[in-house]
């Protein structure tokens, strides 16, 4: 009986020590708008705000709705690089400045690739959406992303 209790206690400790995101990642969601020459494009984004969430990202996902994405908040502008390790979905990756302006876009990234994908300057955040979304909606570097994390939009 005592050994069963020790095994159960050990499993509970292990379970609590490992970050758990649930089957959908356990990320909070928010509304985000990209304003481009082609119009205003609304996305429902999962928010990756902790180091563990940013590390997990969209890894191991097999589907992403056409109006969905993930917004990675790094809290301060800095050079950022991503890779596609354990990421099965091809993505468009948008690097975004403090003021919500898109700095650069890595389009149609290669799933599972270890190659570095970098911001062309200091970025506050990164928006990942399905590959081809930026082209389909006419989203370009210089377009504006509207979300409360960006300084020019803070209330």
- CATH 2.60.120.1140 matches 21-153: yes
Residue 15, both tokens: 């379970």
| Inter-residue contact 61 to 68 (CB < 8 Å) | no
Cα–Cα distance between 42 and 7 in angstroms, integer? 48
Give me the phi and psi of 61, to 5 degrees please: -80, 150
**pLDDT computed for residue 18 by the predictor:** 34
Task: Report pLDDT for 153.
Answer: 57
- What is the four-CA torsion angle of 57, 62, 64, 69, rounded to 10 degrees? 10
* pLDDT of res. 26: 82
Which residues lie below 8 Å from residue 10, measured CB to CB, with a gap of 6+? none
Q: Nearest 5°: phi and psi at 133? A: -65, -45
pLDDT of residue 152: 64
Per-residue pLDDT of the chain (155 residues; tens, 9 = 90+): 544 433 333 333 333 333 334 334 589 999 999 999 999 999 999 999 999 999 999 999 999 999 999 999 999 999 999 999 999 999 999 999 999 999 999 999 999 999 999 999 999 999 999 999 999 999 999 999 999 999 765 44
């Amino acid at each position: 009986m005592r050994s069963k209790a020790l095994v159960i206690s050990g499993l509970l400790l292990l379970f609590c020590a490992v970050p758990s995101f649930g089957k959908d990642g356990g990320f909070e969601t928010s509304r985000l708008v990209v304003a481009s020459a082609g119009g205003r494009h609304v996305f429902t984004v999962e928010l990756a705000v902790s180091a563990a969430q940013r590390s997990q990202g969209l890894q191991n996902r097999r589907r992403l709705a056409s109006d969905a994405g993930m917004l990675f908040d790094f809290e301060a502008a800095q050079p950022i690089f991503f890779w596609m390790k354990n990421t099965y979905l091809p993505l468009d990756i948008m690097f975004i400045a403090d003021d919500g302006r898109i700095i650069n876009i890595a389009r149609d990234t290669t799933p599972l690739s270890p190659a570095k994908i970098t911001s062309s300057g200091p970025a506050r955040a990164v928006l990942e959406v399905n590959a081809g979304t930026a082209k389909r909606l006419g989203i370009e570097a210089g377009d504006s992303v509207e979300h409360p994390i960006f300084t020019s939009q803070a209330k």
